[in-house]
Amino acid sequence: MDTFLQHRLAVSRKLPDGLILLAGGSPVLRNGDVCHPFRQGSDFLYLSGVEEPDCWVLIDPKRRRHTLFIPKVDSTHRVWLGHVPSPDEARKAYGFQRALQTHRLASVLRRARRGYRVLYADKAAQRRMAGIDAGACRGLTARPAALRDALDCLRAVKDAGELALLRRASSVTGLAFRAAMASVRPGMFEHEVQAVFEAECRRRGLKRLAFESIVASGANSAVLHYHGNDQRIRKGSLVLIDAGAEHLGYAADITRTFPVDGRFTARQRDVYSIVLDAQKAVIDAARPGVLSADLHVRSMTMIAEGLKGLGLLKGNVSGLVEGGAVRLFYPHGIGHMLGLDVHDPSGGRKRRLPNPTKVPVRFVAKLEPGFVVTVEPGIYFIPALLDDPANRRKFRGSVHFARAEAFRGFGGIRIEDDVVVARSGPPLDLTDVPKEIADVELLMAIRRPSGSSRSPA
Burial class (CB in 10 A: 0-12, 13-18, 19+), 421: buried
Instruction: Tell me if 194 sits within 8 A of 220, measured CB to CB.
Output: no
Determine contact, residues 421/286, Cβ cutoff 8 Å. yes
Q: Which 3 state secondary structure label does DSSP give 68?
A: strand
Find out whether 238 and 260 touch, Cβ atoms under 8 Å: yes
Contact 231, 252 (CB under 8 A): no
The catalytic residue positions are 33, 225, 242, 253, 332, 336, 343, 376, 380, 414, 416
What is the CA angle 181-183-187, rounded to 5? Answer: 110
DSSP 8-class letter at 323? H
Q: What is the distance between the alpha carbons of residues 154 and 80, in angstroms, rounded to a whole number?
A: 38
Q: How many CA atoms lie within 13 A of 399 on its CB side?
A: 25
DSSP structure class, residue 32: T
Cα separation, 214 vs 229, in Å, equals: 7
